[in-house]
Structure 1
């Protein structure tokens, strides 16, 4: 609340005194602010630790998945195809020759039309497309039975399995219909295209539409020039395989081939499927980085500066120490039969002075190469590092866990402190207003007394002057 200038009448430093009283009263607000700042700092620090634990759990969970271990990579010594392998694949070499690529059927009208917008029927028509024994029908209104309208109707129904366009060949009748099967392979080719009148009646003429688009693969007429659909054909270790598309899955278990070009005759390509230990190595190093990040964050947030004699947000905090202790304990996994029974045997050691993990890349690579099964058991086993770390992390970060409970409590404390601050501020404002009124009254009274004093002094002086004159 603003304080009007007082003390002018009395000459007393009442404004300064009122300011000092305000500063004294505000110490109570400062204490509340200081406590709120401390609680907010702890709240932020817990949030940082929670995020780091969650990042560690994500990295740990990756080490609990089967696909992290025994991953495979592929290499091909030609440009005829590419290959990708999943966890079901088996390491080995394969001789593959791409004899034929899969292609789509195309139908191009044999003759063109002078006017692409000219109406071709005097009634609406139904056009039925049959692919793989399944028939789909579209209805074209009479005023849309132009070449342009039919193309628009075909492309407006994605379920037909065919797309249409108009090709301009530059002749006197340039507009020609081009139909293309949407998928490759023989099974995706058009078998028939039939045209019927939607509401057949006397004088209904649909012959021009039939002449434009009618088709029967069993007895191809003069309407279209056809480029037939083809299946992909590959030879895999001498075994012929056909495919409707140029993407061939699981002919070699766990391997997907994507055909790109036909092989040179008699020159098959070699596909090599080999172990890719880099997937596991990357997952291990990601886990170690996340673990060390959490340890460093806890160290920073709980440190104490001896020189400045100042603590950090969580100096002396028991929950932070509990996190550090239990996360470290999760690394202690009971050994299982095998060459790799603990982390140190695969090159992951702990610095006793700061608890930070260090990875010996050479030792890790050797463990992954020679003892992948043991490494997988150590991390992904029922009581492995991944399972223990997940349990430890959940205890702190899941709903109802230690950190959410602590942060809920601190948020409630901040709300209470906000209410306390508001109530205290109102009380101080009321008290200062009382002081201001009292000081104003004092100032007025002192001003009046000073005025009377001056008057009396003046009168006495005048009386003294009168006496001297007599």
Structure 2
């Protein structure tokens, strides 16, 4: 607490004296506390950076330890000159090899059109009494209740807006010659899945078809607009599907037809060629990420342990780096001609320890020893598992780095508490000084006053005697 009048009575600079005395006791000690807190926080920040880099590296290690990475397949497509006719996606169940595929027919839903002369305007009344209409295509169905006096336009809107409509689109077509047609298009494709409309009231028979081909005066399926299967030929085998996707026709392949094959000069359907092979690109991308994250980890180690940094001289960081380096040098058995990761194109810089990947050497290894590459990285004895288990000791909620960070954060809290207590004691010390010097100031002020009075009396006596 500052008392600005301190020293007024005595004429002495007691305020500065109190501040200096407090400063002597406080400043160096408070600076020491703050330096310690700053050091702890810097250490937490450094360990946080190390932990983040190690976790990122461990993610790349875990990816290499995933057996499914090496089970992946990819489909390379060679389309005919006329354009793309089919797309193929391969999964791990696909067998390596090639498939020649032609497309005979795309799947389609059916289309029904009302009879000529039935309606002349969109405002024509559909039914005087109303009733129920049921729309069915294959296993799909929905119904609507048509109100008495409903118009053709209202019927169209009611069909399109039905909440359980499975994919029937209603449209009105005016031929300009006094005829308006109700056209219904179904999204349900596949042979035998033609759209059928049934009425629950005779007055609605004019807009219903009880069977494919339509009833008298009702809806009919126009020629060429019946529901159809998609048809493809795979290496001479004809395959049908009620949609344009063939998900189980060939094991491990998802085939989607895009267009019907054009005929070549000999009158034969053009084919697309799907080449199925190991997904080398995915493995290379994962391995490149492993190399990149390892180099980033070394960079973080260097930055956080250089002179003047919190982790300078850290034996833990040195040990981690040494252990990871040793893991990389592991020699494997059971991986065919491959004995280490350096046999597949990974290289290490002698000076920096950084890794790089020789893509040419990698491609050669993948084409000649794919299964051996998988053995090298994945499985219980693979490098991925070896490094993953080691990194677990440091990362994660129970890892050593988190333990250190938690302990250091506790030290920050403890030191901040000690500083707070010390500041409180300094406030008490300052108050005691002010109390003491206030008394001294009052005493000196009184003594000055008495001295001035005595001097005045002595001066008066001297003048009288003179």
Same fold (TM over 0.5): yes
Match of 1:201 in 2: none
Matched, 1:222 2:224: no
Deviations 1:69-116 (A, max 9, x none): 364341223322233333333343333222211122222334446455
Secondary structure of the corresponding residue to residue 409 of structure 1: helix
Matched, 1:181 2:176: no
2:133 is aligned, of 103, 122, 127, to: 127
Match of 1:17 in 2: 17
User: CA distance change for structure 1 residues 324 and 38 in 2, over 3 Å: closer, same or farther?
Assistant: same
Deviations 1:260-302 (A, max 9, x none): 2222122412314154522211111100111111122122112
For residues 112 and 325 of structure 1, the distance between their equivalents in structure 2, rounded to whole angstroms, comes to 87
Match of 1:58 in 2: 59
For residues 402 and 296 of structure 1, the distance between their equivalents in structure 2, rounded to whole angstroms, comes to 20
Match of 2:6 in 1: 6
Deviations 1:145-204 (A, max 9, x none): 5555555554455654233334353859787544332333235432x32222xxxxxxxx
Match of 1:40 in 2: 41
User: CA distance change for structure 1 residues 234 and 119 in 2, over 3 Å: closer, same or farther?
Assistant: closer
Q: Contact 1:151–1:165 at 8 Å: present in 2 too?
A: yes
Match of 1:302 in 2: 305
Matched, 1:456 2:454: yes
Q: Contact 2:113–2:220 at 8 Å: present in 1 too?
A: yes
Match of 2:369 in 1: 371
The alpha carbon displacement at 1:378 in A equals 0.4
Deviates further, 42-51 or 68-77: 68-77
Which consecutive unaligned segments of at least 5 residues does structure 1 have?
197-205, 305-309
Match of 1:211 in 2: 206
Question: RMSD between aligned alpha carbons?
Answer: 3.1
1:433 is aligned, of 412, 420, 431, to: 431
1:238 is aligned, of 218, 221, 236, to: 236
For residues 443 and 338 of structure 2, the distance between their equivalents in structure 1, rounded to whole angstroms, comes to 94
Q: Contact 2:142–2:166 at 8 Å: present in 1 too?
A: no
Match of 2:270 in 1: 268
Match of 1:76 in 2: 78
Q: Contact 1:76–1:82 at 8 Å: present in 2 too?
A: no
Q: Contact 1:303–1:315 at 8 Å: present in 2 too?
A: yes
Structure 1 segment 23-422 matched on structure 2, within 5 A? 23=23, 24-69=25-70, 71-78=73-80, 79-110=84-115, 111-112=118-119, 114=121, 120=127, 122=129, 125-132=131-138, 134=139, 136-140=141-145, 142=147, 147=152, 150-151=155-156, 154-155=159-160, 159-167=164-172, 169=174, 177-186=182-191, 188-190=193-195, 192-196=196-200, 206-217=201-212, 219-226=214-221, 227-265=225-263, 266-273=268-275, 275=277, 276-304=279-307, 310=308, 312-337=309-334, 338-422=336-420
Secondary structure of the corresponding residue to residue 136 of structure 1: strand
Aligned residues: 450
Deviations 1:340-370 (A, max 9, x none): 1101222223334443223233322222222
Which consecutive unaligned segments of at least 5 residues does structure 2 have?
none
Q: Contact 1:108–1:225 at 8 Å: present in 2 too?
A: yes
The alpha carbon displacement at 1:380 in A equals 0.9
For residues 300 and 369 of structure 1, the distance between their equivalents in structure 2, rounded to whole angstroms, comes to 39
User: CA distance change for structure 1 residues 215 and 388 in 2, over 3 Å: closer, same or farther?
Assistant: same
Deviates further, 451-460 or 371-380: 451-460
Deviations 1:286-325 (A, max 9, x none): 0011111112212211222xxxxx3x12223343334333
